[in-house]
Amino acid sequence: MKVLILGGKGQLGRSLAATAPINAEIVSHDVDTLDVTDPVAVRAVTRDVRPDLIFNAAAYTAVDKAESDEAAAYAVNATAVGNLAAAAHDVGARFTHVSTDFVFDGLSGLPYSPDAPTAPLSVYGRTKLAGEVLAGEDALIVRTAWVYALTGGNFVRSMLRLMSERPEVRVVADQFGTPTYAPGLAAALWTLSINGFTGVHHYTDAGACSWYDFAVAIQEEALGAGLLNDDVPVIPINTSDYPTAARRPHFSVLDKTSTFAALGGPTPHWRANLRTLIAEIKTNG
């Protein structure tokens, strides 16, 4: 089975390669080797590789910067998805595209099902939603949230750095979602893709929390593992206390019921996966 991974150097791209089935022959590209916004280049690569499966883990994820750079965000999050979907169809490959909880406005108060009405608040959310449309009806589209891994820039790494440098950290406490451990997401993408699932699905770790709750848990786990020496105050703040260019949903917990059924059971709780990552960091740095 030949597999093409786009966004191969990112957290999810690396995790997809690391969790690949033994019979998968991986070809990985990132922005330095393939411009996914160029349809000619995309089609040339897919015709050369002739993959059975294409994973799109490439995305414009600078949420605040996208507010003043909409053309670039749309090119990567939407136009490129259409390019990849067309190229997949051209070579008869299955196409799996990763999307986001930011397609919702966060006003529901209940977990969002895959068929819930979308209403993105930001350029990032709107361009990701446009990408879902351009992926096409035959694609597998998996929305996720708050992704983190051993490598790459993510909230866990940022908190560990700030907690080691500052006398206190201030974290938003009125935005709720669910952290997602990238290797777990990658394994789910492999299972759903290989088994031929299509349409929109939701995947995160189990449970829900605020960014503040997540930060507190990071510090507790890191102190227990000896990664941090000092228990610094973690101060909860409101979104209004930390203004950003892009509006973010206050509640973007995703309903994973149908996905868990497809996978044969629920994922680990986010706190358990956080503990796994902290152990990895202690071992690997």
Give residue 62's region: left, alpha or beta (phi > 0; psi -120 to 50).
Answer: beta
Cα gap 259→204, rounded to integer Å: 10
| Coil, helix or strand at residue 113 | coil
CA distances from 197 to 52, 56, 112, 189, 193 (A): 14, 15, 20, 10, 6
Question: What does the DSSP 8-state code read for residue 256?
Answer: -
Question: What does the DSSP 8-state code read for residue 93?
Answer: -
Cα gap 129→81, rounded to integer Å: 11
Annotated catalytic residue within 112, 124, 181, 203:
124
Cα gap 103→220, rounded to integer Å: 32
127's tokens:
């361009």
212 is known as an active-site residue: no
Instruction: From 26, 48, 43, select the one nearest 84 (Cα to Cα).
Output: 43
Which helix (H) or strand (E) covers residue 27, if one does? strand 25-29
Cα 73-187-94 angle, rounded to 5 deg: 65
Cα gap 273→11, rounded to integer Å: 15
Instruction: From 112, 187, 111, select the one nearest 149 (Cα to Cα).
Output: 187
Catalytic residues: 124
